[in-house]
Protein backbone atom coordinates (compact mmCIF):
# COMPACT_ATOMS: atom_id res chain seq x y z
CA UNK A 1 0.00 0.00 0.00
CA UNK A 2 2.78 2.40 1.02
CA UNK A 3 4.70 1.54 -2.17
CA UNK A 4 1.69 2.43 -4.34
CA UNK A 5 1.29 5.73 -2.46
CA UNK A 6 4.97 6.59 -2.95
CA UNK A 7 4.74 5.74 -6.66
CA UNK A 8 1.67 7.94 -7.04
CA UNK A 9 3.36 10.86 -5.28
CA UNK A 10 6.45 10.46 -7.42
CA UNK A 11 4.32 10.37 -10.57
CA UNK A 12 2.56 13.57 -9.51
CA UNK A 13 5.92 15.18 -8.85
CA UNK A 14 7.16 14.18 -12.31
CA UNK A 15 4.01 15.63 -13.90
CA UNK A 16 4.55 18.94 -12.06
CA UNK A 17 8.22 19.05 -13.10
CA UNK A 18 7.39 18.34 -16.76
CA UNK A 19 4.60 20.93 -16.72
CA UNK A 20 6.96 23.51 -15.22
CA UNK A 21 9.57 22.75 -17.90
CA UNK A 22 6.98 23.25 -20.64
CA UNK A 23 5.87 26.57 -19.14
CA UNK A 24 9.45 27.80 -18.89
CA UNK A 25 10.24 26.72 -22.46
CA UNK A 26 7.05 28.34 -23.76
CA UNK A 27 7.91 31.66 -22.14
CA UNK A 28 11.49 31.47 -23.40
CA UNK A 29 10.22 31.00 -26.95
CA UNK A 30 7.66 33.81 -26.54
CA UNK A 31 10.34 36.22 -25.29
CA UNK A 32 12.69 35.27 -28.13
CA UNK A 33 10.03 35.67 -30.82
CA UNK A 34 8.82 38.89 -29.19
CA UNK A 35 12.33 40.34 -29.16
CA UNK A 36 12.86 39.73 -32.87
CA UNK A 37 9.34 40.91 -33.71
CA UNK A 38 9.80 44.20 -31.82
CA UNK A 39 13.23 44.63 -33.42
CA UNK A 40 11.84 44.07 -36.93
CA UNK A 41 8.81 46.34 -36.42
CA UNK A 42 10.93 49.06 -34.81
CA UNK A 43 13.32 49.01 -37.75
CA UNK A 44 10.60 49.07 -40.40
CA UNK A 45 8.70 51.91 -38.68
CA UNK A 46 11.93 53.84 -38.01
CA UNK A 47 11.46 53.78 -34.24
CA UNK A 48 15.16 52.86 -34.30
CA UNK A 49 17.72 53.78 -36.93
CA UNK A 50 17.75 50.81 -39.39
CA UNK A 51 21.21 51.85 -40.62
CA UNK A 52 22.71 51.35 -37.15
CA UNK A 53 20.54 48.61 -35.66
CA UNK A 54 19.70 46.79 -38.93
CA UNK A 55 16.79 44.32 -38.69
CA UNK A 56 16.27 40.57 -38.21
CA UNK A 57 15.33 40.18 -41.88
CA UNK A 58 18.55 41.79 -43.10
CA UNK A 59 20.60 39.82 -40.57
CA UNK A 60 18.98 36.52 -41.56
CA UNK A 61 19.48 37.23 -45.27
CA UNK A 62 23.12 38.15 -44.75
CA UNK A 63 23.88 35.07 -42.64
CA UNK A 64 22.11 32.82 -45.15
CA UNK A 65 24.02 34.34 -48.05
CA UNK A 66 27.40 34.04 -46.31
CA UNK A 67 26.70 30.46 -45.16
CA UNK A 68 25.81 29.46 -48.72
CA UNK A 69 28.98 30.99 -50.19
CA UNK A 70 31.02 29.66 -47.23
CA UNK A 71 32.64 33.01 -46.44
CA UNK A 72 31.50 33.10 -42.80
CA UNK A 73 32.15 29.46 -41.90
CA UNK A 74 35.93 29.94 -41.65
CA UNK A 75 35.49 32.89 -39.30
CA UNK A 76 32.97 30.93 -37.23
CA UNK A 77 35.17 27.83 -36.98
CA UNK A 78 38.22 29.86 -35.91
CA UNK A 79 36.34 31.70 -33.15
CA UNK A 80 34.72 28.49 -31.86
CA UNK A 81 38.13 26.74 -31.80
CA UNK A 82 39.75 29.62 -29.87
CA UNK A 83 36.83 29.91 -27.45
CA UNK A 84 36.52 26.19 -26.68
CA UNK A 85 40.27 25.85 -26.17
CA UNK A 86 40.43 28.93 -23.93
CA UNK A 87 37.38 27.70 -22.02
CA UNK A 88 38.79 24.20 -21.41
CA UNK A 89 42.33 25.31 -20.51
CA UNK A 90 41.11 28.17 -18.29
CA UNK A 91 38.74 25.88 -16.39
CA UNK A 92 41.32 23.11 -15.91
CA UNK A 93 44.01 25.56 -14.76
CA UNK A 94 41.56 27.25 -12.37
CA UNK A 95 40.58 23.93 -10.77
CA UNK A 96 44.25 22.91 -10.57
CA UNK A 97 45.29 26.19 -8.89
CA UNK A 98 42.36 25.96 -6.46
CA UNK A 99 43.38 22.39 -5.58
CA UNK A 100 46.96 23.49 -4.91
CA UNK A 101 45.78 26.32 -2.66
CA UNK A 102 43.52 23.94 -0.73
CA UNK A 103 46.37 21.47 -0.31
CA UNK A 104 48.60 24.15 1.24
CA UNK A 105 46.82 26.51 3.69
CA UNK A 106 49.99 28.57 4.06
CA UNK A 107 50.27 29.01 0.30
CA UNK A 108 46.62 30.03 0.13
CA UNK A 109 47.18 32.74 2.77
CA UNK A 110 50.17 34.03 0.81
CA UNK A 111 48.31 34.22 -2.48
CA UNK A 112 44.93 35.38 -1.16
CA UNK A 113 45.55 39.15 -1.58
CA UNK A 114 47.08 38.61 -5.01
CA UNK A 115 44.01 36.68 -6.18
CA UNK A 116 41.80 39.56 -5.03
CA UNK A 117 43.99 42.06 -6.89
CA UNK A 118 44.08 39.94 -10.06
CA UNK A 119 40.31 39.52 -9.96
CA UNK A 120 39.83 43.29 -9.63
CA UNK A 121 42.30 44.08 -12.41
CA UNK A 122 40.73 44.65 -15.86
CA UNK A 123 42.20 41.68 -17.70
CA UNK A 124 41.25 43.18 -21.06
CA UNK A 125 43.87 45.88 -20.43
CA UNK A 126 46.52 43.14 -20.53
CA UNK A 127 45.66 42.46 -24.19
CA UNK A 128 48.43 44.59 -25.75
CA UNK A 129 51.03 43.09 -23.39
CA UNK A 130 49.92 39.55 -24.25
CA UNK A 131 50.04 40.32 -27.97
CA UNK A 132 53.59 41.68 -27.69
CA UNK A 133 54.66 38.69 -25.58
CA UNK A 134 53.02 35.91 -27.63
CA UNK A 135 52.75 37.55 -31.03
CA UNK A 136 49.73 38.46 -33.15
CA UNK A 137 48.32 34.97 -33.59
CA UNK A 138 46.05 32.31 -32.17
CA UNK A 139 48.17 31.95 -29.02
CA UNK A 140 47.55 35.50 -27.81
CA UNK A 141 43.81 35.28 -28.50
CA UNK A 142 43.46 31.95 -26.67
CA UNK A 143 45.58 33.37 -23.82
CA UNK A 144 43.06 36.21 -23.44
CA UNK A 145 40.26 33.68 -23.04
CA UNK A 146 42.31 31.75 -20.47
CA UNK A 147 43.35 34.77 -18.40
CA UNK A 148 39.83 36.13 -18.11
CA UNK A 149 38.41 32.80 -16.88
CA UNK A 150 41.23 31.27 -14.83
CA UNK A 151 41.26 33.77 -11.94
CA UNK A 152 37.53 33.70 -11.24
CA UNK A 153 37.56 29.89 -11.57
CA UNK A 154 40.34 29.63 -9.00
CA UNK A 155 38.56 31.91 -6.53
CA UNK A 156 35.14 30.26 -6.87
CA UNK A 157 36.41 26.67 -6.71
CA UNK A 158 38.78 27.37 -3.81
CA UNK A 159 35.94 29.01 -1.87
CA UNK A 160 33.81 25.92 -2.56
CA UNK A 161 36.62 23.66 -1.30
CA UNK A 162 36.78 25.61 1.97
CA UNK A 163 33.00 25.44 2.49
CA UNK A 164 32.78 21.65 2.34
CA UNK A 165 31.14 20.24 5.47
CA UNK A 166 34.01 19.62 7.93
CA UNK A 167 32.18 16.59 9.31
CA UNK A 168 33.08 14.71 6.11
CA UNK A 169 36.75 15.25 6.84
CA UNK A 170 36.34 14.34 10.51
CA UNK A 171 34.85 11.00 9.53
CA UNK A 172 37.78 10.30 7.20
CA UNK A 173 40.22 11.41 9.90
CA UNK A 174 38.69 8.81 12.16
CA UNK A 175 39.74 6.18 9.62
CA UNK A 176 43.27 7.59 9.39
CA UNK A 177 42.89 9.09 5.91
CA UNK A 178 45.56 11.39 4.52
CA UNK A 179 44.90 14.95 3.29
CA UNK A 180 45.04 13.70 -0.30
CA UNK A 181 42.39 11.11 0.53
CA UNK A 182 40.22 13.83 2.14
CA UNK A 183 40.38 15.73 -1.10
CA UNK A 184 39.72 12.76 -3.38
CA UNK A 185 36.94 11.15 -1.35
CA UNK A 186 35.12 14.15 0.16
CA UNK A 187 36.15 17.61 -0.95
CA UNK A 188 36.32 17.16 -4.72
CA UNK A 189 33.03 15.21 -5.10
CA UNK A 190 31.21 17.66 -2.80
CA UNK A 191 32.22 20.65 -4.94
CA UNK A 192 31.18 19.24 -8.32
CA UNK A 193 28.03 21.45 -8.39
CA UNK A 194 30.21 24.54 -7.84
CA UNK A 195 32.50 23.42 -10.65
CA UNK A 196 29.56 23.03 -13.00
CA UNK A 197 28.32 26.50 -12.05
CA UNK A 198 31.78 27.84 -12.82
CA UNK A 199 31.69 26.13 -16.21
CA UNK A 200 28.48 28.02 -17.01
CA UNK A 201 30.11 31.32 -16.05
CA UNK A 202 33.25 30.48 -18.00
CA UNK A 203 31.27 30.03 -21.21
CA UNK A 204 30.60 33.76 -21.22
CA UNK A 205 34.05 34.73 -19.94
CA UNK A 206 35.83 32.70 -22.61
CA UNK A 207 33.76 34.39 -25.33
CA UNK A 208 34.58 37.83 -23.91
CA UNK A 209 38.31 37.08 -23.84
CA UNK A 210 38.44 35.63 -27.34
CA UNK A 211 36.34 38.35 -28.97
CA UNK A 212 38.43 41.07 -27.31
CA UNK A 213 41.57 39.30 -28.51
CA UNK A 214 40.18 39.22 -32.04
CA UNK A 215 39.31 42.91 -31.77
CA UNK A 216 42.96 43.67 -31.06
CA UNK A 217 44.91 41.40 -33.35
CA UNK A 218 42.98 38.92 -35.50
CA UNK A 219 42.37 39.03 -39.24
CA UNK A 220 39.87 36.18 -38.97
CA UNK A 221 37.00 35.27 -36.66
CA UNK A 222 33.72 36.82 -35.58
CA UNK A 223 35.50 39.50 -33.55
CA UNK A 224 37.36 40.57 -36.67
CA UNK A 225 34.06 40.73 -38.60
CA UNK A 226 32.59 43.00 -35.93
CA UNK A 227 35.55 45.39 -36.17
CA UNK A 228 35.50 45.24 -39.96
CA UNK A 229 31.76 45.93 -39.99
CA UNK A 230 32.28 49.06 -37.90
CA UNK A 231 35.11 50.20 -40.17
CA UNK A 232 33.04 49.93 -43.37
CA UNK A 233 29.81 51.04 -41.64
CA UNK A 234 28.15 47.68 -42.32
CA UNK A 235 26.13 47.29 -39.13
CA UNK A 236 24.17 44.36 -40.55
CA UNK A 237 27.46 42.43 -40.57
CA UNK A 238 28.09 43.53 -36.98
CA UNK A 239 24.65 42.39 -35.82
CA UNK A 240 24.99 39.13 -37.76
CA UNK A 241 28.26 38.36 -35.98
CA UNK A 242 26.69 39.15 -32.61
CA UNK A 243 23.72 36.87 -33.34
CA UNK A 244 26.07 34.03 -34.32
CA UNK A 245 28.05 34.54 -31.11
CA UNK A 246 24.82 34.37 -29.09
CA UNK A 247 23.73 31.17 -30.86
CA UNK A 248 27.03 29.35 -30.37
CA UNK A 249 27.34 30.56 -26.75
CA UNK A 250 23.83 29.22 -26.07
CA UNK A 251 24.80 25.85 -27.58
CA UNK A 252 27.93 25.72 -25.40
CA UNK A 253 25.77 26.50 -22.37
CA UNK A 254 23.43 23.62 -23.28
CA UNK A 255 26.41 21.26 -23.55
CA UNK A 256 27.50 22.28 -20.04
CA UNK A 257 23.95 21.61 -18.80
CA UNK A 258 24.11 18.13 -20.36
CA UNK A 259 27.40 17.51 -18.54
CA UNK A 260 25.80 18.75 -15.30
CA UNK A 261 22.87 16.32 -15.61
CA UNK A 262 25.23 13.46 -16.44
CA UNK A 263 27.40 14.18 -13.39
CA UNK A 264 24.39 14.47 -11.09
CA UNK A 265 23.04 11.16 -12.40
CA UNK A 266 26.34 9.29 -12.04
CA UNK A 267 27.59 10.83 -8.80
CA UNK A 268 24.32 11.18 -6.92
Fold classification of 56-267 is: MetI-like fold (1.10.3720)
**Residues 91/199, Cβ–Cβ less than 8 Å:** yes
Question: For position 189, what pLDDT does the model report?
Answer: 80
Domain boundaries, the chain: 1-48, 56-267
Question: For position 27, what pLDDT does the model report?
Answer: 94
Average confidence (pLDDT) per 10 residues, the chain, 268 residues: 60 80 91 94 92 92 91 90 90 90 87 85 79 83 88 87 76 71 78 80 86 84 91 92 92 84 68
Question: For position 4, what pLDDT does the model report?
Answer: 60
**Residues 202/87, Cβ–Cβ less than 8 Å:** yes
Question: For position 188, what pLDDT does the model report?
Answer: 80
Q: What is the DSSP string of 34-92?
A: HHHHHHHHHHHTTSS-HHHH--HHHHHHHHHHHHHHTTTHHHHHHHHHHHHHHHHHHHH
Question: For position 6, what pLDDT does the model report?
Answer: 59
Question: For position 267, what pLDDT does the model report?
Answer: 61
Question: For position 206, what pLDDT does the model report?
Answer: 87
Q: How far apart are CA 54 and CA 237, in angstroms?
A: 9
Environment class of residue 34 by beta-carbon count within 10 Å: exposed (0-12), middle (13-18) or buried (19+)?
Answer: exposed
* Single pTM value for the model: 0.83
Question: For position 41, what pLDDT does the model report?
Answer: 95
Amino acid sequence: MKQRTDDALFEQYQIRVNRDKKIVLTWQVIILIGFFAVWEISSRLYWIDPLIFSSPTKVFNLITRKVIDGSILTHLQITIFETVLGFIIGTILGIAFASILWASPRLSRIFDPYLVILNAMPKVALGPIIIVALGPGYASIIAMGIIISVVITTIVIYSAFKEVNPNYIKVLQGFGATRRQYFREAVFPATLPAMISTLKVNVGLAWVGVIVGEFLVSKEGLGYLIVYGFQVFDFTLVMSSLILIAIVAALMYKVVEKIERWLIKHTG
